[in-house]
Amino acid sequence: MRVALAEDGALFREGLLMLLQAAGHEVVAVAAGGDELISLLATTPADVAILDIRMPPEPDGGLITAERLRGKYPEMGLLFLSHYAESHYLMRILEIGTDSIGYRLKERVGSVEVLSDTLGRIADGEIVIEPVLAKRLVERPRGQKKDEIAALSEREVDVLRLMAEGRSNNGIASQLVVTPKAIEKNIANIFAKLNLHTDTSEHHRRVLAVLTYLRSQRDGS
Amino acid sequence: MRLEPAARADREGAPCPALDEPVAHPGPADRPFPTNSNAAPAARDVHAARRHRELQQWHARLRLERQLHDGAALRISALALQLGLFQHRVPPGEPELRDAVGTLQDELATALQELRDVAAKIYPPLLDQAGLGPALRNLVERLDAPVRVTAGPERFGAAAEGAVYFALADALGVDAGALPDEVRVTRESDHLVVVVSGAGVGLGELIRDRAFPLGGSVTGPDVRAAEPHGVGTIVVRIPCE
């Protein structure tokens, strides 16, 4: 796999570079910050970019860089590494994309097997979330969340599932062979039933709805 | 929690690199304690000196937290990677050695988690990096507390944000039964304003303890109006840095 890497901590960057090479990956770009990585990637294609969340450009260079990369190369997988596993950052990451994306703790990708498995799943289009964070999300007030999903109609669950796949309203409409207007109505109902209040932006509510769906999926499995 | 030694070191040491503005900016509103021992200090000088001291303590906390992250934590994370490389090079016939390296990595992860727990008690990294809204949401999420947090992306300075965060964290930690219904964070000119509804008397006291040294004001809860539950609304105003 062709991997690009941006991390401002020299010790960690060197360690990760050696581990990636030991795992047999081709490291096509190594940078100490997001801007540098983007200019390197202008001439070199990569399958997955590994980004430290907190690096230049400050403060959250990894997130800014990821937005740019997703805009320029929608096919490129993104793996965020951080010292913290926080749902705040997961939300922001899922706002960037809900496919081919991952969020893991720095010390938890420290083996060839885990690193390759994480990169492979991202390249295959999956969302990879640090298990300790996924567990925390799943173990939250379960009964309430389950009820919320159960309150949705069959059509609304279909819409939510397609939202979780990262589709736009128009994309969902064509998939379900209805008008975009009908989808907007479905989504408004989903927000209301999931108690996503109007004090947050439409986009943020969309992400929260997707997260609720993902949590309910994990509950089921 | 008092961090007197660190605060003293702060006064003598280098300025906090994260601050856009210096902590101490003597002026009409924030004058250090007068050095002339013959003059009786005016009440507002005493308050200004107290606020100055309190600001320095909050920034000392912030600096300690960052030191843990940028120093020990990053070093241990890199060590975990180096162990992974070492594990990869263990010959196939040495499964026990391989497992032993895996155990060492787990130990490092545990040490890192303990460092994070300590850092969060000194000054929560999420509060530093993302502000009151995300930090408070994270707090109620972890405590599984049904408290609604309404906050925009504005920032108010490490001291004011820290004071509000720790007062609520203390209240939630002490008695989860006395949770407020909602915490609303806004800015009014150069003040952080936090409105806590459904708050008990105890939370009011915790917030007063944190807000007064920073020159803040606290009103409520007027529990008489809210009998029989003994809860009301608290309004906290703390000057920003």
Q: Please say whether the beta carbons of B197 and B219 come within 8 A.
A: no
**Contact across the interface for A60 and B134, Cβ inside 8 Å:** no
State how far the Cα of A209 lies from the Cα of A195, in Å rounded to an integer.
9
Q: Does A22 touch chain B (CB under 8 A)?
A: yes
| Residues A10 and A23 grouped into a single domain | yes
- A15–B85 C-beta distance less than 8 A: yes
Among the three residues A103, A137, A171, which one is the final residue of a domain in this structure? A137
* DSSP conformation class of A75: T
Do residues A130 and A149 share a domain?
no
Q: Which of A11, A18, A199 sits opposite B74 (nearest CB)?
A: A11
Kindly state whether residues A15 and A75 are assigned to the same domain. yes
When pLDDT is averaged across residues A17-40 and rounded to a whole number, the result is: 97
Q: What pLDDT score does A102 carry?
A: 93
Is A75 or A94 the better-scoring residue by pLDDT? A75
Using the predicted structure, report yes or no on whether residue A221 has a pLDDT greater than 70.
Answer: no
Quote the CA–CA distance of B128 and B56 in Å, as a whole number.
15
* Signed CA dihedral, A138, A141, A147, A149: sign only: negative
Per-residue confidence band for A126, with pLDDT thresholds at 50, 70 and 90: confident
| Interface residue of A13, A107, A195 to substitute, partner B, most B CBs within 10 Å | A107
Average pLDDT for A69-81: 97
Let me know whether A188 and A123 are in one domain.
no
Q: Look at B4 and A173; give whichever has higher pLDDT.
A: A173
pLDDT at B225: 57
Question: Residue B84 and residue A84: Cβ atoms within 8 Å?
Answer: no
Assign residue A166 a region (left: φ > 0; alpha: ψ between -120 and 50; beta: otherwise). Answer: left
* Selection from A106, A41, A104 nearest residue A75 by Cα: A41
Residues A128 and A87 in one domain: yes
Task: Domain count for chain A, please give it.
Answer: 2
Task: Please name the helix (run of DSSP H) or strand (run of DSSP E) that holds residue B65, with its range, or none.
Answer: helix B43-68
Q: Which of B77, B102, B150 sits opposite A106 (nearest CB)?
A: B77
Residues A33, A115, single domain; the answer is: yes
**Amino acid letter at A191?**
F
Which is higher by pLDDT, A181 or A214?
Answer: A181
Do B169 and B117 form a contact (C-beta atoms < 8 A)?
no
Instruction: Give the ipTM of the model, two decimals please.
Output: 0.77
d(CA B131, CA B155): 6
Shortest distance, CA A135 to any CA of chain B (angstroms): 12
| pLDDT band of A146, cuts 50, 70, 90 | low
Return the higher-pLDDT residue of B32 and A37: A37
Same domain, A32 and A104: yes
What residue spans of B71-221 are helical by DSSP H?
74-89, 95-122, 125-130, 132-142, 158-174, 201-211
Tell me, yes or no, if B72 comes closer than 8 A to chain A by beta carbon. no
When the pLDDT of each residue in chain A is averaged and rounded to a whole number, the result is: 86
pLDDT on residue B22: 42
- The CATH number of the domain holding residue A43 is 3.40.50.2300
The stretch A103-114 carries a mean pLDDT of 94
Strands (E), A7-134: 26-31, 48-52, 77-82, 101-105, 127-129
Q: What are the Cα distances from residue A218, in Å, to A32, A138, A140, A157, B135? A: 36, 7, 12, 15, 25
Q: Which of A122, A137, A152 is the last residue of a domain?
A: A137
The answer, for B151 touching chain A at a CB cutoff of 8 Å, is no
Q: Quick one: what percent of chain A has pLDDT higher than 90?
A: 54
DSSP helix/strand/coil, B217: strand
C-beta of residue B125 within 8 angstroms of C-beta of residue B69: yes
Half-sphere exposure of B130 (CA within 13 A, CB side): 21
Q: Which domains does chain B have, with CATH numbers?
A: 4-122 (no CATH), 126-239 (3.30.565.10)
- Select from A88, A116, A137 the last residue of a domain: A137
Boundaries of domain holding A154: 141-220
Predicted confidence band at A113 (pLDDT cuts at 50, 70, 90)?
A: very high
- Contact between A114 and A177 under an 8 Å Cβ cutoff? The reply is no
> Do residue A98 and residue A38 come from a single domain?
yes
**Spans of chain B, pLDDT less than 70:** 1-41, 174-178, 223-229
